[in-house]
Structure 1
Amino acid sequence: MGVNWRSAIAQNTVIYSPSAPPRGIDPLPQERNRQELQGLTNDYRVGALQRDIDGNLWVGSWLGLARIDPNTGNILSRVSLPNIAIGGLVQDRVGRIWVGTYEGLRRVDRQTSQVTAENFSLPSNRVLSLLIDRRGYLWVGTDRGLVLISPDQGLRMTTLQQLPGVSANALALDPEGQLWVGTLEGLVRVNTASAFILDRVGNIPGTTVQALAVSPQGTLWVGTLNSLLELDATTGAILRNVEAVAERQISALAFDQLGSLWIGTDNGLLRYDPRVNQVVGQVPDLPSNRILSLSPDTGNKLWVGTSEGLAWVSMSTGRARAHLAFTRSH
């Protein structure tokens, strides 16, 4: 597909309150946890990317957490998180980096790269998604529900374990400031002030939601196991089902500053123009075709986390190059 890319659109660790969450499903057995985390030293997947207020890029891989200069690719610092799978990253209002791992939640000072807080009293320590709402509070999505945390005090404010669809795979904030949660059984809309469920959208193609993004126009884009949908972010009504990506598993979604939607799938990275309803390009030469995370407009590049490492895409040529420090040797 030909593409005109230029013209196209701390020092001391604080442990959180150990009070138990509401009673629910038992945690994963330790033996299963151990089996799932074996071999992480040979796993190059990059599951989370986060640009910080200094313009640097945090790379959450299954080899650890690092901060890089996105203009040069130079590694600025590494955070000591050995043998921990990272499932989510987010920056809070004062610039602290929150790291969701498969062994709980951590807070990192972006200037010292030190872990300054930890939380292991979640409904499940398997963190899949993170989001900061308009008030500055942190929502933590796990495979057994949602938790609302105060980033400053480190207090767990609310736990929503009875989440329809159970697993909070993806989170997005709509124009009204309410939280959309992608689950195993569709979508749930949550009032961020009360943590009450406002709505549920279950009858969608693909059922399991793996990725969410809000467009510049305020619509909600939803990636499932076999479809890409555009929804009204207030009512949940389906506005569009993108046939061009039918039957692909959507794993990551992100809009760039030109309004293009980047679509990460289990079989490649696509660039889609919502205005003309067309896929306008596919990126070749990535470390893997299984896309896990995206960070557009970072150092004038699109950064891409894959199952086999990290790469960046030139916004002028559309060509990809692997970051060799995070990628299996080619």
Structure 2
Amino acid sequence: MVIFRTRIRLFIISILLGLIAVPSLQTSTLGQNSSTQKSTATYPVAPPPNRVDPLPDDRDVLERQAETDYRISNLLKDFTGNLWVASWRGLSRIDPNTGNIIARVSLPNLKIDALAQDKVGRLWVGNYQGLTRVDPRTNEITAQNLLLPSKRVLSLLIDKRGYLWTGTDAGLVLVSPDEGLIMTTVKNLPGVSGNAMTLDADGHLWVGTLDGLVRVNTASALVIKRIDNLPGGTVQALAISPEGLIWAGMPNQLLVVNPKTGIVMRSVTPLRGKNVTSVSFAEDGSVWVGTSNGLLRLNPSTGALLDQVAGLPSSRVLTIAPDVGNKLWVGTSEGLAWLMPTMDQARPHFGFGRSVK
């Protein structure tokens, strides 16, 4: 009895000290009604893990937010002497004498690649959504949504009759600028893509494609000559010299072609191995050549290097407009710049670049 009483006393003391847990009424009935019970999880005492940015729900949104592109894709001097500036942020008109922005035109698509002005002064704009006609007096859209073979317009040109040729990444289209209607399509264009266009002295259309040069009769819309097997293949810039020769810019060189014979006369030495993106002849007879790594001025007769321009917003030159407002205007991948004959380097136009958001 003494031993039993001692054990009872120790048991009571253990309960009071919390050394032994007494089952509650809930736990005693757990086996009878386990389906109505909820288990309680326990977690270690630790700080939460570091946040991963962006959160999954935000990643898709951020991936679709493209960085702003400040490229100047095309420059055009109009009949009034003003300069139209096409970029991937829209279309603007500036006074080339002062540099002041006269107007910014609202378009359905901002990524512009091509510009042309027809014989009555209407402006044609090629972008990633097709072709748009703009009245420069009111800056209003007067025609759009033509049924082109592709909505991506790469080049535009007005022929001697006043008709509009449209180069897309799926061929050529002839457009009546008055009615804004398609007249014909050049089917099965060799080299497929109308990257660049120019007119020779006879009024024939020359097209730079992914596979060389093609000459098109503007009256019949028929391909009448093809120059392929050019080193580098793709022709991405075209200009006609005062002597009537074709200067063709390619990803690896600059070629001079006789349009009458189709013979490649020479590869311009300073541009060998360079990615030629634009070519334009100045009033003094020299030729400006834009590349993916700088802007050069050459003597077209000898190919001698006359100047190399410093101070551009980017070394990647996309378009050139010489002799506009007594200046050379240069469109680059990072904005617009200008240069006067007395200046030792170009200066950026602060209305087109990363300084303006």
> Do they fold alike, i.e. is TM over 0.5?
yes
Which residue number corresponds to residue 215 of structure 1? 241
Larger helix share, 1 or 2:
2
Letter in 1 for 2:325: G
Which of residues 187, 199, 212 in structure 2 aligns to 1:173? 199
Counterpart pick for 2:349 among 323, 326, 329: 323
Unaligned runs of 5+ in 1: 1-34
Identity of aligned residues (%): 57
Question: Does 2:230 match 1:204?
Answer: yes
Write the distance in 1 (CA, Å) between the matches of 2:354 and 2:285: 32
Cα pair 1:210 1:223 within 8 Å, conserved: yes
Structure 1 partner of 2:329: 303
Question: In the alignment, which residue of structure 1 is the partner of 2:263?
Answer: 237
- Alpha-carbon distance in structure 1 between the residues aligned to 2:226 and 2:341: 37
Kept in 1, the 8 Å contact 2:171–2:186? The answer is: yes
Match of 1:26 in 2: none
Q: What is the distance in 2 between the residues matched to 1:161 and 1:76?
A: 40
- 2:214 aligned partner, one-letter code: V
Question: 2:179 aligned with 1:153, yes or no?
Answer: yes
Residue 142 of structure 2 corresponds to 116
- Mapped to 1, the partners of 2:299 and 2:147 lie a distance apart of 42
Q: Distance in 2 between matches of 1:112 and 1:139?
A: 24
Give yes or no for the alignment of 1:58 onto 2:84: yes
Output the CA distance in 2 between the equivalents of 1:82 and 1:300.
Answer: 33
Equivalent residue of 1:259, what SS?
A: coil
1:76 lines up with 2:102 in the alignment: yes
Q: Residue by residue, what CA displacement relative to the aligned partner does 1:69-121 show, whole Å, maximum 9, x if unpaired? A: 00111000110025521010011101111100011100111111111111341
Q: Does 2:220 correspond to 1:194?
A: yes
Deviations 1:53-72 (A, max 9, x none): 00000000001000000011
On the 8 A contact 2:198/2:240 being kept in 1, the answer is yes
Instruction: Give 3-state SS (helix, strand or coil) of 1:326's partner.
Output: coil
Amino acid corresponding to residue 75 of structure 1 in structure 2: I
What letter corresponds to residue 350 of structure 2 in structure 1? L
Q: Distance in 1 between matches of 2:154 and 2:341?
A: 29
Counterpart for residue 4 of structure 1 = none
Larger radius of gyration: 2
State the one-letter code of the partner of 1:287: P
- Secondary structure of 2:351's aligned partner: helix
Cα distance per residue 1:241-291 (max 9 Å; x no partner):
112111111111100101111101000011011123211111011000111
Given that 1:50 and 1:57 are in contact with CA atoms closer than 8 Å, whether structure 2 keeps it comes out as yes
Aligned AA for 1:53? F
**Post-superposition offset of 1:236:** 1.5
Could you tell me how far 1:319 is from its partner in structure 2? 2.0
The one of 258, 262, 275 equivalent to 1:249 is: 275
Equivalent residue pairs, number:
294
Matched residue of 2:202: which SS?
coil
How far the C-alpha of 1:316 sits from its partner, in A, is 2.5
Separation of aligned partners in 2, 1:80 and 1:329 = 21
Distance apart, 1:161 and its partner CA: 3.3
Do 1:222 and 1:229's aligned partners in 2 also have CA atoms closer than 8 Å? yes
User: What is the match of residue 47 of structure 1?
Assistant: 73
- The alignment partner of 1:244 has SS state of helix
**Aligned residue in 2 for 1:95:** 121
The answer to whether the Cα contact below 8 Å between 1:40 and 1:85 also exists between their aligned partners in 2 is no
TM-superposition CA deviations, 1:31-55 (whole Å, max 9, x none):
xxxx9xx656711001011100000
Comparing both structures, which one devotes a greater share of its residues to strand?
A: 1
Q: Distance in 1 between matches of 2:338 and 2:226?
A: 36
Rate the CA distance shift 1:84–1:327 in 2: closer, same or farther, 3 A: same
